[in-house]
Amino acid sequence: MPLPEPLQNLVRALERLPGIGPKTASRLAFFLLRAPDDLAQDLAQALLQLKTGITYCQECFNIAGAGQTKCAICDSPQRDPGLICVVEDPLDVLALERTEAYNGRYHVLHGALSPIEGIGPEQLRIRELLARVEAGGVREVILATNPSLEGDYTAAYLRQRLKPLGVRLTRLARGLPAGGDLEYADQTTLLRALAGRQEMEE
Ligand SMILES: [Zn+2]
């Protein structure tokens, strides 16, 4: 039985989300059909506002509210500007913030280097990171890219570029699940990785 077009459209859109297969997409679509009107309306409104209401911090490229040039972390005088934690994704910022153990600032690369996928330094926010460190006032850069092949490769590349700038370079301690994503690590593991961070050797 072919689904009526509005349902079909929703199912197809949901299927494009990560981790959602055709079965889950259908189940969600039927759930929304039966749910009270305000749920569908709230959801539609939130989705529409997502793109217009969010922008990226001009300093660290974390998410920021529309019309703001800086994110809440860069804007806070409580956060140490001499310490920069480099991560792949804004979700990694959220994960590290949940530990409540970090009081420096961040730099979000928006991905990792991947020669196979054709992602080079110019596709990431690397130029902006170098400029921040070159501007001075930075003591330490924590390379907190994911403990994966691409993440390690990116950290090694950044080390090479940042080393001549005379800044302390550290990498999160081992113990994070290898090949995994920072954002999925639990709070205790992240805390330990942050506290046990080590100088990055060649
Ligand atoms: Zn920021």
Distance from C-alpha of 175 to C-alpha of 156, rounded to nearest angstrom: 18
CA 94 to ligand 1 centroid distance, Å? 13
pLDDT at 202 over 70: no
CA 59 to ligand 1 centroid distance, Å? 5
* Cβ-based neighbour number of residue 70 at 10 Å: 15
pLDDT in tens, 88-113: 999 999 999 999 999 999 999 999 99
Question: Could you tell me the pTM of the whole model?
Answer: 0.82
pLDDT in tens, 63-83: 999 889 999 999 999 999 999
Find the mean pLDDT for residues 115-141. 96
- Kindly provide the b/e burial profile for residues 93-104, where b requires at least 16 CB atoms within 10 angstroms of the residue's own CB: bebbeebeebeb
Distance from C-alpha of 13 to C-alpha of 198, rounded to nearest angstrom: 44
CA 52 to ligand 1 centroid distance, Å? 18
CA 76 to ligand 1 centroid distance, Å? 9
CA 75 to ligand 1 centroid distance, Å? 7
CA 36 to ligand 1 centroid distance, Å? 38
Q: Which residues contact 53 (CB under 8 A, 6 or more apart)?
A: 65, 66
Interhelix angle 126-134/149-162, rounded to 10 degrees, is 30
User: 68 phi and psi, to 5 degrees?
Assistant: -100, 140
**Residue, of 120 and 191, whose pLDDT is higher:** 120
